Every structure is written in C-alpha cells, then in structure tokens.
Structure 1
Amino acid sequence: MIRIAIQKSGRLNTDSLALLKSCGITVDNGKDQLKAKARNFPLEVFFLRNGDIPQYLRDGVVDLAIVGSNLLVEKGTDLEVIESLGFSKCKVSIAIPKENSFSGVSDLAGKKIATSYPNTVNQFLKEKGVEADIHVISGSVEIAPNIGLADAICDIVSSGSTLFKNNLKEVIEILTSEAVLVQAPNLNEEQILLIEKIQFRIQAVLRAKQSRYILLNVPNEQIDSVSKILPVLKSPTVLPLAQEGWSSIHSVINSGDFWEVIDQLKAAGAEDILVCPIEKMVR
C-alpha cells in the first residue's frame, strides 16, 4: 500500500482525482472525507491542506503527493519531483494598485508586500538586491492594498480576474507553476515498485494528451514524402486501399504541431485526413 496526498479542495484537487481516474484508479471519496482507499489499486488518498503536504512527505506520513511546483519553491526545495503533470498551470506574480505607476523591481524598495509566499518573495528580492517589508497573510491577499495594509501583493495568478476585481495589475512574474508528482524520502523497495507502476500509467496518460492519431489517404508515389513529414514513434503503418494506386497511412502526431503538419500533408498530396484523440499511449 502507498499513500498519496492531494489538495483537499479546489482545482488541483479536481485535476488530481481526474488524473488518477485516467490511470484506471477508482477512489471512493465522500464530501469532507480526509482519507479514502482506491478500489482497484493498493493506494490510499489523503486530502490535506496544501501548505501542510511538504511536511507530511518529510515525516513519511504519505509517500507521494500531487502539488503545485510553486509550493515546493516556498516549502519543499529538498523534496524530489519525479514527474511534471502539465495541469493546474499558474504563475506567482507581484501586483500593485492599477492607478500606481511602476518602472521596475527597484520601485518595491521599502514597500510593504502582502503575500502567502514569504520565502519565494524574499528569495526573489534578494536576487534583485531589493529590500522590502514582507507582510505574511494566509488568505485573501488581494484585499491588502485596498485596506491600506500593503503597497503590493505577491500571489498566485491564473486568469487575472481576481486581480481585476480588486483593482490590481500584475507587474512582475516571479515564477510559473504546474502540478508535479513528488516523492517522499526513505521509501522501501515495495513502495518504490508501486510508485513506478503509478508513474508508468501517468506517463501513458500524459503522452496520449499530447498526441493525436492520424489517418490519411495518399497516392502510392507520395508515400515516402508524406512519411517523412509525420513525426512518428518508429515508422507509419501503410495499408493498400481498394482503389488501385492509393494507400492509407496511420501515424501519431504531436497535438501542438497539428495545423503545421496538416498543411504540409495537404501540400504533399494527402487526402481524407482523419484525426482522433488517444486515450492512452504505452511505450
């Protein structure tokens, strides 16, 4: 049995449970439940406060965790990231009231900055040679300038809508963040083997999300030129069609290169191009 910690609420919680489900792991968790077992894998899920997770890993209470990489910058630089997960992306930024001018980081010298990430802010300011007064707040950081508690804030920014509602503007991006899979120290052999199984499934899911299955028809004389365009894993599958002189090519493309590849295939003579999502891609 291994134990994994995820955030007990919010977008990271939802995305983490969705990832486990995509990996074929079913977790029966009820409302306000702090611990739940998987039905079909030797896994127990702990639903914890985000800021507490790094210490639970160090103490060996949990063996794995899905957290934002920004949390590790703040509280867990000693912990090992074993997989970047690509979801729950955001940034940690400094923001000031909209009406205030800003010419650079030196403008923060001597100012009060409200934040839930004091270590991150202090490290950033130290690197820039700027001294400021850090005011630590657990929540609702965005309200601090409006009530005269701070001149600026440093907080997580996703869409920017919360800053807009509080009459703030982003002026410095300190770092970008995404969900990562983190491993506890001092694991035994059995735990490591189970973690490798989970990581194998996660990698198959992530590869599938980044890829598309493509089928297309091409004249036989164009098979070589079309095959060179396709960034396949090994080589494309080529099947003859009932129509003489034509073949069907099956392959995989990177979803990020979709339109560029499609344009090249059309120019090379490909027709009837069909693109499908991939549920899992195992190597």
Structure 2
Amino acid sequence: MDDLKGLLSASRLNRDCGQTYSSLLIPYTMTNLKIAIQKKGHLRDESILFLNSLGISCQQKNNQLITKCPNTNIEIIFLRDDDIPNYVNKNLIDFGIIGEDVIKENNNQTKLVKKLGFSKCQLVMASPKDSDINSINDLQGKRIATSYPNILKKFLDLNKIQSSIVQVSGSVEVAPCLNLADAVCDLTQTGNTLRQCGLEQFTTVLKSEAVLIENKLIKPEKQKLLDLIKQYANS
C-alpha cells in the first residue's frame, strides 16, 4: 500500500508541476507497442497507476482484455499472470508487468529488464498457531500446501528437508484447517489473511515485487519507453 501511495504522490506531483511524461510519448504515436499486465487483482491496479504516472493513460472498462491508450498507439493487454511471460517470449507482446514470483516459479527464460518497486510481497512458510511447526527443521516429514511447488521444492532441497508438497491452485490458507496439510507456503503482502486463518509465518522463502519483462525483438520505440521508465524511476 505504501508503494501505491508513492505512485499516487508522484503522479500528483507531476500534474501539479505541469510536468507530464506523456509529452515524451506523443511524438511516437505512429509506433505500435503492446504492454501486458495482469487482468485482475492488486497488481493490475498498481500497474495501471504506474502506467498512468508515466503519462500512458490506461483504463480497463467492462472487463475488456485489450485497450488502446489515448494519444498514443500503445495497446494494453490484460492477461492471466502465468500467460504474460509466454506471450512475451513468443514476441507477441513487447513488454509485460508481472510479479517476480511468477518468473521464479515457472523458470522462464524471460528477459527481466527492471524491478519496478511496487506490489511488494513475500512467499512465506506458515503453520497453525497451536502447531509444533515453528522452524524450517520442523517441516521434516510434514505436508506443505502451496501454489508454488517449484520454488518450494528448491527451498526444501537447499535446506535438506524432505516434505510432501501438496499443490493447490488457490485458498492455500485453509489447507491446514481441512487437514490437507500441516503447513503452507503462500504469498502475502501484510500477513492478514494468514492470521485470519489462524496461521503464523515463521520464515520467508522469497521476496517479490512487480518487474518489467521484454521480448527479444529490437525496436527503437522500445528503447524510448525504457528511457521513459528510467527517467521516472530516477525522478
């Protein structure tokens, strides 16, 4: 949330000072860039705010999946987070904004251009408050529910822990309540949902944030957008 407030403050500052980055993009309206962002969730909201702060006016209306930004020829494509690297790697989309955790989980050979500093979160280990699992070593022989089996396996192997990985696609926090698992490995920003489910986190597996990825095609207009993002980041 602090990252989101920071983007809002920067956007207001640019507006109040009469400074907009959109003027840097308008001369290149004849170019055609495609940027993919997550189609729902807080990462979508913060990505839209980030693009708006660059002067790239972006809104998703009526759950549309493709929208063209006014005054530019930039298209914003709304996709499932797991699909964004695939479209970028196939050179169908120029840039993608995605969580670093997705790149790590899928072992994508995607070109990571820049960490963007918002949508920060952590992949953590957590267990029920009344559990005897309070450290990594306590996971030996236990069942762990997660939506990140590849990251979790690497973490367990690194720490020489043999556990059963229970892969679930969502609502990981309820797994211990339903006796599906003894602990969870889940992504969290504040830890509130974990606490509401009676879980306490005891170690961090991975820190993640929004990152910018790009395809391998060489386009002059791509570099202009990268320069714009760097100028914003340094302002």
Equivalence for 1:2: 33
Which TM-score applies when normalising by structure 1?
0.69
Which TM-score applies when normalising by structure 2?
0.82
Letter in 2 for 1:32: N
Equivalence for 2:159: 128
Q: Distance in 1 between matches of 2:144 and 2:199?
A: 13
Tell me, what secondary structure is at the counterpart of 1:20? helix
Q: Distance in 2 between matches of 1:72 and 1:139?
A: 18
Aligned residues: 204
Equivalence for 1:159: 190
Q: CA deviation at 1:207?
A: 2.0
Q: Which runs of 4+ in 1 moved over 3 A?
A: none
Residues 73-222 of structure 1: pairs in structure 2 closer than 5 A:
73-185=104-216, 187=217, 189-190=218-219, 193-208=220-235
Q: CA deviation at 1:71?
A: 1.1
**2:54/2:229 contact within 8 Å kept:** yes
Tell me, what secondary structure is at the counterpart of 2:133? coil
Identity of aligned residues (%): 38
**1:65/1:182 contact within 8 Å kept:** yes
Equivalence for 2:66: 35
Residues 68 and 28 of structure 1: is their aligned pair in 2 closer, same or farther, counting only changes over 3 Å? closer
Q: Distance in 2 between matches of 1:126 and 1:13?
A: 33
**1:28/1:39 contact within 8 Å kept:** no
1:23-43 CA-to-partner distances (Å, cap 9, x unmatched) read 111124312111111122231
**1:92/1:155 contact within 8 Å kept:** yes
What runs of 5+ residues in structure 2 fail to find an aligned partner? 1-31
The two structures, once aligned, show a CA RMSD in angstroms of 1.4
Equivalence for 1:19: 50
Which structure carries more strand by proportion?
1
- Whose radius of gyration is greater, 1 or 2? 1
What runs of 5+ residues in structure 1 fail to find an aligned partner? 209-283
Q: Distance in 2 between matches of 1:166 and 1:103?
A: 16
**2:33/2:94 contact within 8 Å kept:** yes
Residues 38 and 76 of structure 1: is their aligned pair in 2 closer, same or farther, counting only changes over 3 Å? farther
2:94 corresponds to 1:67? no
**1:54/1:75 contact within 8 Å kept:** no
**2:141/2:162 contact within 8 Å kept:** yes
**1:88/1:179 contact within 8 Å kept:** yes
Residues 103 and 159 of structure 1: is their aligned pair in 2 closer, same or farther, counting only changes over 3 Å? closer
